[in-house]
Amino acid sequence: MARIYNPKEIEPKWQTRWEADGLYRARIDPSRPKHYALTMLPYPSGNLHIGHWYAMTPSDARARFMRMNGYNVMFPMGFDAFGLPAENAAIQRNIHPKEWTYANIANMRKQLRSMGAMFDWEREAVSSDPEYYHWSEWFFLQLYKHDLAYRRRAPVDWCPKCNTTLAREQVIGEERVCERCGTPVIRKDLEQWFFRITNYVDELLDFSQLDWPEKAALMQTHWIGRSEGAEVVFHTQQGDPIEVFTTRPDTLWGATFMVLAPEHPLVEKITTPGQKDAVEVYTREVLRQTDIQREATDKEKTGVFTGGYAVNPVNDELIPIWVADYVLMTYGTGAIMAVPAHDQRDFEFARKFGLEIRPVIQPEGAEPISAENMTEAIPAWGKMINSGPLTGTPGDQAFERTIAYLEEHGTGKRSVNYRIRDWLISRQRYWGAPIPMIFCQECGWQPVPEDQLPVLLPDDVEWLPTGESPLKLHPTWKKTTCPNCGGEAERETDTMDTFMCSSWYHLRYLSPHYDQGPFDPREYDYWMPVDTYTGGAEHTTMHLLYTRFFHKALRDMGITRGPEPMLQLRNQGQILGPDGQRMSKSRGNVIDPDEQVDRYGADVVRCYLMFGYRWSEGGPWNSDNISGVVRWINRIWSLFTEPSPTGQAPDEKEIRKLRRKVHQTLIQITRDFKEFEFNTIISGLMELLNEMYRVRELGVPATAAWSEAQEIYLKMLAPVAPHIAEELWTDVFGKPYSVHQQSWPEVDLEAAREDEITLVIQVNGKVRDRLTVPVGISEVETREAALRSEIVQKYLNGRQPRKVIVVPEKLVNIVI
């Protein structure tokens, strides 16, 4: 009796059965190769988004494919559960962040289960659980012990809406807005905790061990921003050294003035009494401005003369020292030598304030440069001119020879600068892992002893409308004793950046309840590193950079091993609303996955998300296109559950054709899984189904080839549509449970082989004829067959071809 395809019945049925049987439990098994597949964990915002489905279900399909290929696969899931939205809910709706977070997690677990993914829920980790953040704190202490965590007063970015500092990476775009809430950040001078990610910059620039998208490596490379150059020491007339960094030491003889950042510590000292008022007015004005105003690249250069002079160490010339806000205190030394002839910014400044412009580089083949005629700086490399002893040095040697000259004379040295800053991890918020440090008036900052971890967050907290951290306001929590002298002391009330928690979650999945350390070393030895990591490209310069740093720092402490934590990375694109805009509640274009699952079933939603897009690109949700997938799934159901026509004798040729299509599809789909090309996996399965429908009418269903096709079909379907595949395999066909424990089918190359091919005949590059020829036809035979073609004869019209190109088993091009 044919049944109707009813995903509402079969999907929960199998989800329950798989879970009860522990089908997806990942256990150490040294006899099998392991595969650690990881997809970025969600923030428990309350509801799963269709974007989560888009990111996770193809990852799941691929993890399932790896499992069928003999790998012992771990595919864990958890929650990045600390963070500001929980506190905002607390302030707005008077719900405790813990309550809000854990209610959301409970809901999202349910939603995640409806995907039918092979998550191993026994390995679930939640970063806001004390048993998790115990070890976030412990990692902080290890970094502190190894001098990779330190406290420093520095100008930092502050989000006035979130009431907290942010890492440089969390300030987005030219508008310099908060990564979370989009509010423009302001600059504050604060004492904060930092991690020394800059100790690892050179290693972080090495991507040779990684199979990552080039784009991701490039973004990290740009973010780190390595520049090679020289450090040169100038001296003021009073004898104070001013260090500058330059990428163009070869232009040193063209330095006609110096510029200090307004915050530079020497500004006050070198300013002469006559310039004092002007300098003070200027610096005060600059410091008043927002970063956006100050760092706008199109604004006209401003600055003021200090009255002081410095000596250029290569020619002993006195050059004026200016203060200007186009020099940033946060990069290099906060001071520059200005070479207006060869740097556009210095050029604009010099023109505006009438400072000398002196060309010292003559690029090859260019007109001789003269200061009067220049309309812009000449940044190109070239022969050194007007450069004392180095005059005449060719462009390709200028850089090295100048550095050698500086080192010989003790006035400078080779130097490398980076754009990246140390990672600011202090957050003035409640809902995060406490920074386990104690301040004692006598002993200074002291780490919390490891046996006193975790420092627990207090539950009894209140929020003031000012948005100040409740930890700071708590009456007793911060009061403690100094671990060193036993005297009265105070806890650090700042918590850690949540990126700290997510820098090691892949390690917590190894053993989420282990209490002797952050993870069980036996699990580490078997499962790490992560073999395949998938997620959004927006995490490239934050989470992914932090995670790599974390792994390398821990490796140097002997905690982790190997060069990298995540070997292979793939980024999926983004699903937009049906209007092509980013989905958001305010636009009202949000697609709710629960609704879609309710309407079509999880298998259809999974397959549509795989079929409709290039996974790496994404695109707008299209509710029309899903009907193609609905039809396809229904046609699978019908073909596999309805009786096939009988009576007709099978045709050998059709049997051969079916087997060929089956095995060709298997080859194609195997490759597509490896390459993350999910759309052609589905279209391949659609094509094969169409072929099965075709031969069904031709007596083939009574044959062994038909049974083989059905079996291979369900195995290939299993990773993408796990429920219907299981239902058909186990319940309809009565094959041994579970389809998800079957091996990936073996390709029969003989069956996949074509025995004749369509030879394309071109005349002058245009297709004129097609011939059917046997596989293995020789080049000579191919050529002759093509020339015998009537159509070719007509074009030749008795003439000899000028040239005949033969591509074996593909094409002949006859040039007349």
Applying the rule CB under 7 A, the residues between 522 and 541 that interact with RNA are 537-538, 541
Among residues 675, 756, 779, 784, the one that binds RNA under rule CB under 7 A: 675
SS (HEC) of 53-73: HHHHHHHHHHHHHHHHCCCEE
Query: How far apart, in whole angstroms, are the C-alpha atoms of residue 313 and residue 310?
Result: 9
Is it true that the peptide bond before 249 is cis, omega within 30 degrees of 0? no
Exposure string of 555-577, with b = 16+ CB inside 10 Å and e = fewer, is: beeebbeeebbbbbbbbbbbbbb
CB of 109 to RNA, least distance (A): 30
- The identity of residue 245, as a single letter, is F
Among residues 42, 44, 83, 229, the one that binds RNA under rule CB under 7 A: 229
What contacts 428, CB < 8 A, 6 or more positions away?
Answer: 163, 164, 165, 468, 469, 472, 493, 494
Candidates 105-113, 194-202, 324-332, 640-648 — which segment interacts with RNA by CB under 7 A? 324-332
Give the residue with the Cβ less far from RNA, 343 or 531. 343
Instruction: Restricting to residues 232-271, name those near RNA by CB under 7 A.
Output: 245-248, 261
Is it true that the peptide bond before 584 is cis, omega within 30 degrees of 0? no
Q: Does 481 bind RNA (CB under 7 A)?
A: no
Give the residue with the Cβ less far from RNA, 479 or 794. 794
Instruction: Restricting to residues 376-395, name those near RNA by CB under 7 A.
Output: none
Query: How far apart, in whole angstroms, are the C-alpha atoms of residue 24 and residue 233?
Result: 63
**3-state class (DSSP) for residue 32:** coil
Query: How far apart, in whole angstroms, are the C-alpha atoms of residue 219 and residue 27?
Result: 36
CB of 378 to RNA, least distance (A): 14
Instruction: Restricting to residues 168-227, name those near RNA by CB under 7 A.
Output: 172-174, 214-215, 218-219, 222-223, 225, 227
Q: Does 330 bind RNA (CB under 7 A)?
A: yes
CB of 381 to RNA, least distance (A): 14
Among residues 575, 686, 709, 716, the one that binds RNA under rule CB under 7 A: 686
Total count of residues recorded for the chain: 816
Q: Does 760 bind RNA (CB under 7 A)?
A: yes
Picking from 672, 691, 558, the residue whose alpha carbon sits closest to that of residue 615 is 672
Is it true that the peptide bond before 774 is cis, omega within 30 degrees of 0? no
Number of neighbouring beta carbons within 10 Å of residue 318:
11
Both tokens of 412, joined, read 């400078």
Q: Does 287 bind RNA (CB under 7 A)?
A: no
Q: Report the relative pairing of strands 241-246 and 383-384 from DSSP bridges.
A: unpaired
Q: What one-character-per-residue DSSP string does 620-651 give? A: E--TTTHHHHHHHHHHHHHHHHSPPP-SSPPP
Q: Does 503 bind RNA (CB under 7 A)?
A: no
Give the residue with the Cβ less far from RNA, 415 or 503. 415
Q: Are 633 and 607 a contacting pair, CB within 8 Å? A: yes
Give the residue with the Cβ less far from RNA, 179 or 592. 179
- The identity of residue 456, as a single letter, is L
Both tokens of 6, joined, read 């009813």
Instruction: Restricting to residues 589-608, name those near RNA by CB under 7 A.
Output: none
- The identity of residue 804, as a single letter, is V
Instruction: Restricting to residues 723-752, name those near RNA by CB under 7 A.
Output: none
Picking from 627, 611, 623, 605, the residue whose alpha carbon sits closest to that of residue 683 is 611
**3-state class (DSSP) for residue 360:** coil
Candidates 136-144, 384-392, 448-456, 766-774 — which segment interacts with RNA by CB under 7 A? 766-774
Both tokens of 799, joined, read 């003439």
Q: Does 297 bind RNA (CB under 7 A)?
A: yes
Give the residue with the Cβ less far from RNA, 495 or 683. 683
Query: How far apart, in whole angstroms, are the C-alpha atoms of residue 388 and residue 257?
Result: 18
Give the residue with the Cβ less far from RNA, 153 or 766. 766
Q: Does 587 bind RNA (CB under 7 A)?
A: no
Picking from 170, 27, 59, the residue whose alpha carbon sits closest to that of residue 568 is 59
Q: Are 198 and 216 a contacting pair, CB within 8 Å? A: no
* Binding-residue pattern over the window 641 to 670 for RNA, x denoting contact by CB under 7 A: ---------------------------x--
Both tokens of 276, joined, read 């004092």
Query: How far apart, in whole angstroms, are the C-alpha atoms of residue 217 and residue 482?
Result: 44
Among residues 743, 764, 778, 793, the one that binds RNA under rule CB under 7 A: 764
Give the residue with the Cβ less far from RNA, 336 or 489. 336
Half-sphere CA count of 217, side-chain side, radius 13 A: 15
Give the residue with the Cβ less far from RNA, 133 or 418. 418
CB of 531 to RNA, least distance (A): 20
Q: Does 472 bind RNA (CB under 7 A)?
A: no
Give the residue with the Cβ less far from RNA, 346 or 726. 346
Q: Does 774 bind RNA (CB under 7 A)?
A: no
Give the residue with the Cβ less far from RNA, 296 or 485. 296
Q: Does 353 bind RNA (CB under 7 A)?
A: no
CB of 45 to RNA, least distance (A): 20
Query: How far apart, in whole angstroms, are the C-alpha atoms of residue 37 and residue 491?
Result: 39
Instruction: Restricting to residues 124-153, name those near RNA by CB under 7 A.
Output: none
CB of 770 to RNA, least distance (A): 6
Among residues 152, 693, 743, 779, the one that binds RNA under rule CB under 7 A: 693
Give the residue with the Cβ less far from RNA, 262 or 447. 262
Candidates 144-152, 394-402, 457-465, 763-771 — which segment interacts with RNA by CB under 7 A? 763-771
Among residues 370, 622, 707, 778, the one that binds RNA under rule CB under 7 A: 622
Residue carrying structure tokens 């807005």 = 177
Q: Does 617 bind RNA (CB under 7 A)?
A: yes
**3-state class (DSSP) for residue 535:** strand
Both tokens of 792, joined, read 């070719």
Among residues 576, 762, 773, 785, the one that binds RNA under rule CB under 7 A: 762
- The identity of residue 254, as a single letter, is G
Among residues 87, 677, 726, 727, the one that binds RNA under rule CB under 7 A: 677
Alpha helices in 80-232 (DSSP H): 84-93, 97-113, 130-145, 201-204, 214-224
φ and ψ at 813, to 5 degrees? -115, 120
Give the residue with the Cβ less far from RNA, 96 or 768. 768
Size of the site for RNA (CB under 7 A): 85
Candidates 443-451, 458-466, 477-485, 619-627 — which segment interacts with RNA by CB under 7 A? 619-627
Bridge partners (DSSP) listed for residue 172: 177
CB of 174 to RNA, least distance (A): 4
CB of 508 to RNA, least distance (A): 28
Give the residue with the Cβ less far from RNA, 8 or 110. 8
Candidates 92-100, 325-333, 498-506, 741-749 — which segment interacts with RNA by CB under 7 A? 325-333
Candidates 143-151, 354-362, 631-639, 780-788 — which segment interacts with RNA by CB under 7 A? 631-639
Picking from 591, 536, 514, 610, the residue whose alpha carbon sits closest to that of residue 42 is 536
Give the residue with the Cβ less far from RNA, 315 or 679. 679
DSSP for residue 776: T
Q: Does 417 bind RNA (CB under 7 A)?
A: yes
Instruction: Restricting to residues 797-816, name those near RNA by CB under 7 A.
Output: 803, 805, 807, 810-811, 813, 815
Give the residue with the Cβ less far from RNA, 125 or 178. 178
Candidates 66-74, 323-331, 395-403, 404-412 — which segment interacts with RNA by CB under 7 A? 323-331
Picking from 691, 696, 688, the residue whose alpha carbon sits closest to that of residue 645 is 696
Q: Are 107 and 47 a contacting pair, CB within 8 Å? A: yes
